[in-house]
Structure 1
Amino acid sequence: MPLITDPHFYFVAIPAVLLLGMSKSGFGAGFGSLAVPMMALAVTVPQAAAILMPVLLLMDLLGMAAFRKNVDPHLLMFLIPWGLAGIVIGALLFKVLDARLVAGIVGVFTLLFLAQRLLFPPRADSAPPPRWVGAILTVTSGFTSFIAHAGGPPINAYVIPMRLSPVLFTGTMAFFFFFVNLAKWIPYAWLGLLDLRNMTTSLALLPFAPIGVWVGVRIAHRIQPVWFYRLVYSGMFLTGCKLVWDAVAIP
C-alpha cells in the first residue's frame, strides 16, 4: 500500500511535524532536531528523513515568506557554501555511516556547547567565534542535516554567540536551511529514499506543517530575546540528550 497506515506512526509523526514547524518559525529553535528521532520510534531513520523532505520544503517556504525582511545577507552568503559542502560529504558517506553513531556525535557536541555556554558565559563585549570555526560548524550542520535533519545544533553553536535579534536569527536560519534542504533532493533520490510510499505518507502529514509554523511565528514575534534564547538552549539540551540516548540505547 502506498501509504503508512500504522496508527503508532502517526501518533509520533504528527507531534514531530508540529514541533519541526515551530522550530522553523524560530520559537523552540533547536527542538526541530527531535523530529527524526521521534519518528524513528516507528520507522527507520533514513525513512523518517525521507518522509520529512516535502514537509521541510513547505516549512522552509513558509518561514522565508514570514521572515523575508529579517535576513543577514552577509552572514547567509558565508554560511550557504559551507552548508552545501556538508551536504556533499553526507551524501558520499550516507551508506557507510551508522545513523546511531552520527546521532551520538551530534548529541555530545550539542551538550558540550551548552556546558561551555553555562560554565563560561560570554561577556557583553566578547567577540563571536572566528570564521574558521564557523566554517567547520556549518559544514557539520550540512552533514548532520543530510543524515538526520539535525543541522540545528551545530549552526546554532556558531550563530547564537552573535546575539542576533530573535527575528533576524530566525529569518537567516530559515533561508540557510531552505538552500540546505533543497540541495538534499537529488542525493536523496540517488540513494533511493524518495519512493512512492514515503512521498505519499509525507503528503498525509503536510497539512500539519503550516499549523506548526503559524504557531511558532506568532510567538517568535512577541517573545523577549532572553526568553527566546533560553528556549533555544532548552531545545538543544533535550535534543542532545535524546540523540545521545539513541546512540547508546540497545536496539
Structure 2
Amino acid sequence: MSALLTDPWFYAVAVPAVILVGLTKGGVGGFGLIGVPLMALAMSPVQAAAILLPILVVMDIVSLWTWRGQQNKTTLVDMLPGALVGIGIGWATAAFVTADMVRFIVGAVTIVFVGRWLYLTYRHGSTHATQPNKIQAAFWGTIAGFTSFVAHVGGPPFQVYTMPLRMDPKVLTATGVVFFAIINAIKLIPYFALGQFDAANLAAAGVLMPLAPLSTLAGAWLVKRMRPEVFYPFTYGTIALVAVKLLWDGVVSLL
C-alpha cells in the first residue's frame, strides 16, 4: 500500500479539498481553486494535481448530467478553440513555466476584475450585461486553457469573460461545466504522457473518488436555489478570496 494512503495528514487535507472542489463543480463559488494548494500541504503540488485530475473528470460527468441542456452554446463555441490552444501552450512550456508564476498572474488579474465589478456596482448601483465578443472569448479561453493545464486554475480567466455577460446562474454554471469537462478530458492525454498517472496517484484518487459525486450534487442543489442577486455577489466574493490566496502563494514562492 502507498505510504500516502496510511498518512492521516493526507486525509485531513485531501477530504476537505475534494469536497470544496465538488461544491465548485456543482456551481458554488470558486472554492475549487483551493483544492491543489490544500492537498499540497501533504504532498507536492504536481502530485496533488495528478491525483485530483481523475476526480475532476468524475465530477465533470456528474455535473454534465445534472446541468444537461442548459449551457450557452455560443459562449462555448467562442471560447473552446482558444482553450485548446492554451492547453497546447501549457504542454509545450511545462518545463519553463511554474505553477507559482501562473498563480501570481491569475491572482493579480482576478483582483483587478473583481475590483472593477465593485467600482461599477457601488458607483452606479448595478452592473449591466456586456455583449458577447468573439475576440475576447478566444483570448480568455486561451488563458483559461493554459492556466488550467499548468495549475488547475482555469476558473478565474473563464469567469473574467463570462460573469459580465450576466447569464442566468443556471446557464452560467452549465456553460462552465461543459467548458471544463472538455478541458479536463483533453488534459488527461498530456498528463498521462508526462507520467503523472502512476499506481500510487491512481490509488489515492480511487480512495477519494466516492466524495466526488456527493459533493458535486450538493453544490448543484445549492445553486439551483440561489437567486441571481445572491448568486453573483456570492460568486464574486469567493473569487476575490481565491484571487488573494493565489496572489499570496505566488508572491511567497517567487520571493
Report the TM-score, using the length of structure 1 for normalisation.
0.94
> Does 1:232 pair with 2:204?
no
SS at match of 1:59: helix
Runs of 4+ more than 4 Å apart: 122-126
> What are structure 2's unaligned runs of at least 5 residues?
none
In structure 2, what is the Cα distance between the partners aligned to 1:3 and 1:131? 48
Amino acid in structure 2 at the alignment position of 1:23 = T
Greater Cα offset, 36-45 or 173-182: 36-45
Deviations 1:140-160 (CA, angstroms, capped at 9, x unpaired): 111111111110000001000
Other-structure match for 2:73: 73
Other-structure match for 1:182: 185
SS at match of 2:204: helix
In structure 2, what is the Cα distance between the partners aligned to 1:91 and 1:154? 18
In structure 1, what is the Cα distance between the partners aligned to 2:195 and 2:132? 38
Superposition RMSD in Å: 1.7
In structure 2, what is the Cα distance between the partners aligned to 1:13 and 1:232? 23
Deviations 1:188-217 (CA, angstroms, capped at 9, x unpaired): 011111111111100011011112111111
SS at match of 1:120: helix
**Shift of residue 248 of structure 1?**
1.8
Contact 2:79-2:140 at 8 Å conserved across structures = no
Contact 2:25-2:60 at 8 Å conserved across structures = yes
Other-structure match for 2:134: 131
Contact 1:37-1:242 at 8 Å conserved across structures = no
**Shift of residue 182 of structure 1?**
0.4
Other-structure match for 1:205: 208
Distance 1:197 1:102, change over 3 A: same
**Shift of residue 129 of structure 1?**
6.0
Contact 2:21-2:33 at 8 Å conserved across structures = yes
1:113-128 matches, cutoff 5 A: 113-121=113-121, 125=128, 127-128=130-131
In structure 2, what is the Cα distance between the partners aligned to 1:176 and 1:96? 26
**Shift of residue 2 of structure 1?**
3.4
Contact 1:17-1:209 at 8 Å conserved across structures = yes
Report the identity percentage. Answer: 38
SS at match of 1:4: helix
**Shift of residue 77 of structure 1?**
1.5
In structure 2, what is the Cα distance between the partners aligned to 1:16 and 1:220? 19
Report the TM-score, using the length of structure 2 for normalisation.
0.93
> Does 1:149 pair with 2:152?
yes
In structure 1, what is the Cα distance between the partners aligned to 2:227 and 2:253? 41
**Shift of residue 227 of structure 1?**
1.0
Contact 2:76-2:179 at 8 Å conserved across structures = yes
**Shift of residue 101 of structure 1?**
1.1
> What are structure 1's unaligned runs of at least 5 residues?
none
Contact 1:47-1:193 at 8 Å conserved across structures = yes
